[in-house]
């Protein structure tokens, strides 16, 4: 039976502050724990006024202290931005603070643009081919491999499962070769989803961390008591994507009634593409849509997300989604 988890981009709302966004994230994580979600992840983004999770490990420490049992993790850390030793130390520290609860998802995108890479002062001369080597070096630091000549303290011996994140076939191939769980970013880049999952499962090689392939897929949910309200809630995230694609990103905007219908055809087509793995509607709609997606992908876990302007409406949306998820689980067990 599938598990259900949450991805939070820690949105900074128009007219709000980073401090409020972080308080809302802690509140949402506690809410997710009470609802029965399996994990709560945040993602690394840089130079974006509407996302407050750039210092991912620091945010996770904040979330860890606001919760007690839900798994917390990065979905993900963009490894090209960091030396593997530093990530081993950061997540080793998190594991010491919250033992048995910490996940480390790794992505190979920089999470922004070349200006950010220069500001971070990372040498990216190795290009994408450096990513597998960095992943294996990080694994060695966490394992306390003496051949490195240095111990990550904290870090060596930490029980932190590593995940490979991706939105293309590359991540699927690497996760399969290394025997690691694989999370696909279908919540914003669904094009290669089915092919990537098939490659991952067919090429998977068991490892010390994982004996069988394990697939997580991102899924957008905007749920409310009626479809009209759900459509309104979804308009904030739709605005965010349109602004991002037109070079005008910013803070999360209030919902706008009829926003999608007001867009030109090319913008509507873009949204229909990038947000095709989504459910917008009532509990019955979400239950139907998620069940169909699980049948299609046979995913072991869905990572639900959805940027909603009103924090209370966001909590209500994820509560409705969990009710739908529980109904799917009961039906599968019958």
For the segment 121-178, what is each residue's pLDDT rounded down to a tens digit? 666 555 557 999 999 999 999 999 999 999 999 999 999 999 999 999 999 999 999 9
Q: Domain range spanning residue 64?
A: 3-333
The predicted pLDDT at position 332 comes to 86
Digit-coded pLDDT (tens) for 202-250: 999 999 999 999 999 999 999 999 999 999 999 999 999 999 999 999 9
- Residue 115's pLDDT is what? 77
Residue 118 has a pLDDT of 77
What pTM was computed for the model?
A: 0.95
What pLDDT shows up at residue 116?
Answer: 75
Contact 215, 300 (CB under 8 A): yes
Determine the Cα angle at 116 with ends 125 and 121, to 5°.
Answer: 50
Q: Where are the beta strands (DSSP E) in 189-266?
A: 215-223
Q: How confident is the model at residue 110 (pLDDT cuts 50, 70, 90)?
A: low
Q: What is the CATH number of the domain that holds 42?
A: 3.20.20.30
Separation of alpha carbons 145 and 152, rounded Å? 10
Helix (H) or strand (E) holding 162: strand 162-166
Question: Max CA-CA distance within the chain?
Answer: 60
Count of CA atoms in the C-beta half-sphere (13 A) of 220 = 30
Average pLDDT value for residue range 74-93 = 96
Bigger pLDDT: 5 or 122? 5
Tokens of 123: 């040498």
When pLDDT is averaged across residues 70-90 and rounded to a whole number, the result is: 96
Residues 6+ apart with CB under 8 A from 237: 220, 222, 275, 306, 307, 308
**pLDDT score recorded for residue 141:** 98
pLDDT tens digit sequence for 173-207: 999 999 999 999 999 999 999 999 999 999 999 99
Tally of domains in the chain: 1
Half-sphere exposure of 151 (CA within 13 A, CB side): 7
- What is the overall mean pLDDT for the chain? 95
Distance CA 263, CA 282 (A): 24
CA distances from 43 to 71, 135, 222, 237 (A): 15, 17, 20, 16
Is the per-residue pLDDT at 72 higher than 90? yes
């Amino acid at each position: 039976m599938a598990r259900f988890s949450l991805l939070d981009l820690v949105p900074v709302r128009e007219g709000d502050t980073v401090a409020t966004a972080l308080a809302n994230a802690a509140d949402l994580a506690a809410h997710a724990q009470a609802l029965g979600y399996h994990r709560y992840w945040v993602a690394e983004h840089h130079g974006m006024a509407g996302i407050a999770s750039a210092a991912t490990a620091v945010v996770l420490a904040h979330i860890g202290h606001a919760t007690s049992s839900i798994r917390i993790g990065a979905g993900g850390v963009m490894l090209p931005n960091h030396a593997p030793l530093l990530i081993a130390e950061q997540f080793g520290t998190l594991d010491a603070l919250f033992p048995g609860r910490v996940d480390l998802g790794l992505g190979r995108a920089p999470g922004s643009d070349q200006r950010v890479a220069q500001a971070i002062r990372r040498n990216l001369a190795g290009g994408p081919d450096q990513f597998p080597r960095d992943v294996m070096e990080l694994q060695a630091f966490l394992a306390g491999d003496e051949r490195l000549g240095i111990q990550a303290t904290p870090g060596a011996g930490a029980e932190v499962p590593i995940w490979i994140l991706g939105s293309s076939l590359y991540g699927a191939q690497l996760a399969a070769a290394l025997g690691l769980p694989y999370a696909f970013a279908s919540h914003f880049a669904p094009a290669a989803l089915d092919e990537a999952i098939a490659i991952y499962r067919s090429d998977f090689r068991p490892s010390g961390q994982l004996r069988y392939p394990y697939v997580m897929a991102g899924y957008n949910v905007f749920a409310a008591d009626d479809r009209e309200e759900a459509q309104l809630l979804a308009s904030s995230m739709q605005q965010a994507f349109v602004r991002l694609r037109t070079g005008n990103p910013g803070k999360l905007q209030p919902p706008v009634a009829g926003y999608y219908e007001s867009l030109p055809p090319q913008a509507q087509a873009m949204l229909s593409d990038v947000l095709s793995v989504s459910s917008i509607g009532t509990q019955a709609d979400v239950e139907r849509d998620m069940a169909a997606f699980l049948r299609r992908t046979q995913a072991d876990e869905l990572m639900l997300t959805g940027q909603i302007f009103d924090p209370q409406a966001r909590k209500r949306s994820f509560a409705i989604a969990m009710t739908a998820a529980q109904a799917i689980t009961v039906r599968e067990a019958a």
